[in-house]
Every structure is written in C-alpha cells, then in structure tokens.
Amino acid sequence: MSVKIRLQRHGKKGKPFFHIVVADSRARRDGRFIEKLGTYNPITNPATIELNVDSAVQWLNNGAQPTDTARAILSYKGALYKKHLQGGVAKGAFDQAEAEKRFNAWLESKESKVQGKVEGLATAKADAKKAALEAEVKVNEARVAAAAQADADAKAAEEAANAPAEEVVEATEGEAPAAETEENTEA
C-alpha cells in the first residue's frame, strides 16, 4: 500500500480550506484517510498553516510520499528540515541536542520573517487607508470650494442681471418718448 501526504479540500466554492492528511494513494481526494496532520488556509495573507511537525516527520521516515503542494507546505513549516537533521543524528554527524538547537534557530528565523511580512502588510494597509482618506479630503475640499465659487458666481450673475435690468428699464423709459416723437414727426 502506497501512503501519501496530501491535501483534502474543504470549504465553499471559491473559498478553499484544506486538511493535510496521510492517506492511501488509491483513496479518493476527499475520502478516507489514515491520520490528519494539520490544516492549510490559503485565503489569508500570509497563508495560515497548522501542522503537527513531529507526526509529519514520523510519517516521512516511514516512507510516506508528499504531493508537490504538501511537500511545499512541509518545507515551509520545517518538517523536511527536521527529517534532514534527524538523518544527520543517525549518521553521527552531531547529537540530538545540536539538531534541536539548529531546528529551533531555523524556526525562530522563519517566524521572524513571517511576522515581518504580517507587519509589512499591516503597515501597507494603514498607509493605503491614510492616502485614500487624504485624497478624499482633497476631493471634498475641492467640491466645497467649487460649490462656494458657483454660489458666488450665481450671486454675481444675479446682481449683474438685476442691476443692468434697472438701467435698461431707465434707459428704455427715457428712449420711449423719443421714439414716440419720431413716430409723431413722421406722421
């Protein structure tokens, strides 16, 4: 029986969520499995991965073959590195304490990189929100200024329309008798 470490899909359409499982290679993708090693959520940024590293290393040592995606996840979480270090212990290159020390140092550096990415994403999101707010404030100020300018122009046009109308009325009143006189002289 060939045993594989692979992903088992769960979640809604368009919102995948995976269980990392050890299963017989002949079993269906979402079918029977031997053991659940963890979960993988690719929706979050960075992806959320919960993995039982010790159990994964034990299955790798027993000959379980990971799929390509499962291999990438195991590498990301350090299961393959821990298996590599255990091989060094078995060969006598260093002892178990040294292997644990190396693995913990690698784990801390990996965790700091992930934390740096999370902080960078949070900072970028805050900066984008701040820039959007500033742009919105500028647009609102421009809109208020344009409205004030339009009101001022409307008032000026109304005053200009009222003022010449009075002058035109006065001028037409003064011209009307002259027009009548011209008509009278023609007759």
- The DSSP annotation for 84-116 comes to HHHHHHHHTSS-HHHHHHHHHHHHHHHHHHHHH
pLDDT score, position 176? 53
Give the list of residues 6+ apart from residue 141 with CB closer than 8 angstroms, or none: none
- Between CA 15 and CA 90 the distance in angstroms is 43
pLDDT in tens, the chain (187 residues): 689 999 999 999 999 999 999 999 999 988 999 999 999 999 998 899 999 999 999 999 999 999 999 999 999 999 999 999 999 999 988 899 999 999 999 999 999 999 999 999 999 999 999 999 999 999 999 999 999 998 988 888 888 888 765 555 555 555 555 555 555 555 5
And the tokens for 146? 């344009």
Give the pairing of strands 65-66 and 48-51.
unpaired
CA 53, 60, 87, 113 torsion-angle sign: negative
| Dihedral sign for Cα atoms in the order 26, 28, 32, 35 | positive
pLDDT of the residue at 164: 60
This prediction's pTM: 0.69
Supply the pLDDT for residue 130. 93
Strand order in the sheet with 35-41: 48-51, 35-41, 15-24, 3-12, 65-66
- How many residues make up the chain in this entry? 187
**In the prediction, which pLDDT does 186 show?**
59
Question: Which pLDDT score is estimated for 182?
Answer: 56
